[in-house]
Amino acid sequence: MNSEFILKIKSLHWINDNEDDPEDLCCHGEVEVTIGNHFWEYSANVSASALYFLKTLSENHIIYEDNQMIPCCGHFMLPNEDGKTVTICGCTQGIDWTVLHEDNAVKMVLEDETEVIIPFEKYREQVFAYVDEIEAFYNSCEPKKMPKDEWEKDTYLLFWQEWHRRRGEKGRTDTFL
């Protein structure tokens, strides 16, 4: 059994395919994913996928029960009842698989029931490299123009608070602002 897991970003851009757009809050890109002997290339909402990967560092993810691990889009965000997390709502297109925690390992179960188990540290390494590359892209662009709507603005800021908390950067909310 091949226990490989690789997340690779081929390109990053905003929805209009520009390298910078201060009004676009969601980063998109071309992503390659290798899990065992399975390989995908996909055009995705990478900012949404990054948050969902960060969530899997401490939570299980069951295929098709929530947003896809690599979603096509993310039309809007909703704050969850806990006031600390968001749900990103998009379409039904994307690539998804199950992520389960077992001792010091992560088991990924694909749609065809293929199971790939890797050490948690290796999984976290891939996730951190992926999310850090996306955040670096945000930081390389002009500061974002915050939505005028307070609810939208607060939800967007909550997205980044959750991102940094899960990444281990407590109290940091200054990315791209």
Q: Which residues pair with 171 in a beta bridge?
A: none
Structure-block tokens of residue 169: 């950067």
Number of structural domains, the chain? 1
* Residue 128 falls inside a structural domain: yes
* Residue 36 falls inside a structural domain: yes
* Residue 174 falls inside a structural domain: no
| pTM reported for the whole predicted model | 0.92
d(CA 142, CA 50): 20
Q: How many residues does the chain have?
A: 177
* Residue 173 falls inside a structural domain: no
* Residue 177 falls inside a structural domain: no
Is residue 2 very low, low, confident or very high in pLDDT (cuts 50, 70, 90)? confident
* Residue 136 falls inside a structural domain: yes
Domain enclosing residue 103, as ranges: 5-167
Cα separation of the two ends of the chain: 45
Query: pLDDT tens, 4-46?
Result: 999 999 999 998 887 799 999 999 999 999 999 999 999 999 9
Query: What is the helix, strand, coil percentage profile of the chain, to 5?
Result: 30, 30, 40
Query: pLDDT tens, 106-133?
Result: 999 999 999 999 999 999 999 999 999 9
Query: pLDDT tens, 58-91?
Result: 999 999 998 899 999 988 899 999 999 999 998 8
* Residue 76 falls inside a structural domain: yes
* Residue 176 falls inside a structural domain: no
